[in-house]
Amino acid sequence: MMRKRTSGKIFTLMLIVAVFAVLLAGCGEKEPKFGERVKDYKGFKTLKEEKIIVKNNLTLQAFVPNGSISKSTLGGITATHNGVTLSLKMLDANIVNTTGGPKQYLKKLGATTVVTSTAAEEKRNDIIERSDVTYASKYTITRSLGRYTGTSKTEFIKTIEFEGKTYYAYGYITIYETSVNSDTEELLKEMKKYYGVDIYHDKEKLKERTEYFTKNPPKYKKIFVNRYLVQIPVDWTQDYRVSNAQVKTYGPNGKATDINNLFIGSQYISSSIDNLPSGELEKKMKLHMEKLFADLKMTMKATRPSIHGTKAFTVVMKKGGIEYKGYFIAERNYVLFIYAAGRGKVSSDLNEIVKNAFDNLEYTRQRDNKTNV
């Protein structure tokens, strides 16, 4: 009985020790979180340990996609694997705080607010705030190498407290649909857990939108004009023969004609439009244009602007049997011109092109694009 009891106790003790050892094995490999430092962690399948420089000899541990790596001279790092690219760097805390914190930083200076001029479609999601991380995301449909493809982008700011100071780490994640593979989802799953961010990647949505644009190619594309993006017909380019520093002329395949033309330009004005009383801007612009062009007859009428912060006017100018018709858009110290010309009268097709350019006018940063129409 004694031996049995003894052997029974020993067996029970061995079982307890075995169970405890299993528990310890699980606890010893604590899953790390971005912003924390762990030693010799080997639990990730798709991420590897790297570091980014905070300042001087202070570094931040980061587990990044286990693929190609490039490091910035400023201390940042970019890693690419399985169709996913992650860029990490530290932000200047003074700039983040001056802009109003992480959410306002992403809203005002974030990469996802920059409009992609070549996009057939671009959609942004709301900025999400959590206790120590803030993130924003979008998807973009573009045409590359003869076909439409989708890209998903997520950017985030991680707030890190260390020795009484606040630091901000910035990350930018890009997922290229042309390069994703069967291992991509596992990589994104591990990144999501480690960085504490819902990484945007709606495969079905991207597939549906790329198929749509493959069957229904856009009629228009976007061009940069100062801080604006203006839509013009997709096969139109600048005609350098009849363009100058102030006004660019566009036409099919770079050749403007009497029946196919679009004029886009900008002009600096000496005083801000905010300081001009009602009706004064129209008067100044009318006098300015009539002084530049003898015998020019011009009418201007205020209209509802297509983007906020501007004043807009419909404009009709006539000179020597030619009609010029379009819009003037005034903002601060600049006036943007968008108009077309026609002998006798501007055609309905050109009117549609000009109206589309005005209705879909955008700032180059999405933060400014509070649409009024």
Assessment of whether the complete model's pTM goes beyond 0.85:
no
Question: What pLDDT does residue 166 have?
Answer: 95
Report d(CA 202, CA 180) in Å as an integer: 13
User: 135: which residues sit within 8 A by CB, 6+ positions away?
Assistant: 106, 127, 128, 154, 155, 156, 157, 197, 198
- Which positions ≥6 away from 68 have C-beta within 8 Å? 79, 80, 81
Which tens digit of pLDDT belongs to each residue from 281-335? 788 777 777 776 778 888 899 899 998 888 899 999 998 899 999 999 988 778 8
DSSP letter at 112 equals G
Q: What is the pLDDT of residues 50-97, one digit of tens each?
A: 999 998 889 999 999 999 999 998 899 999 999 999 999 999 999 999
User: What is 186-198 written as a DSSP string?
Assistant: HHHHHHHHHHT--
Q: How far apart are CA 29 and CA 18, in angstroms?
A: 17
Q: What is the pLDDT of residue 19?
A: 36
* Tokens coding 368: 């400014």
pLDDT at 168: 97
3-state helix, strand, coil in the chain (%, to 5): 30, 40, 30
Q: Answer whether 47-215 and 220-368 agree in fold.
A: yes
Give pLDDT tens digits for 105-163.
Answer: 999 999 999 889 889 999 999 999 999 999 999 999 999 888 999 999 999 999 999 98
Q: Please state the domain extents for the chain.
A: 47-215, 220-368
Residue at token pair 């960085």: 195
Cα(85)–Cα(177) distance, integer angstroms: 12
Per residue in 219-256, pLDDT (tens digit) is 999 999 888 999 999 999 999 999 988 889 999 999 99
- pLDDT given for residue 25 in this prediction: 36
Would you say 350 and 261 are in contact if contact means Cβ atoms under 8 Å apart? yes
Q: What is the average per-residue pLDDT within 343-372?
A: 83
pLDDT computed for residue 278 by the predictor? 64
Is residue 22 predicted with pLDDT exceeding 70?
Answer: no
- Of residues 23 and 57, more confidence is placed in 57
- Take residue 166 and report the two structure tokens written for it: 């606040």
The class of domain 47-215 in CATH terms is alpha beta
Which helix (H) or strand (E) element contains residue 349?
Answer: helix 348-359
Which CATH superfamily hosts domain 220-368? Mog1/PsbP, alpha/beta/alpha sandwich (3.40.1000.10)
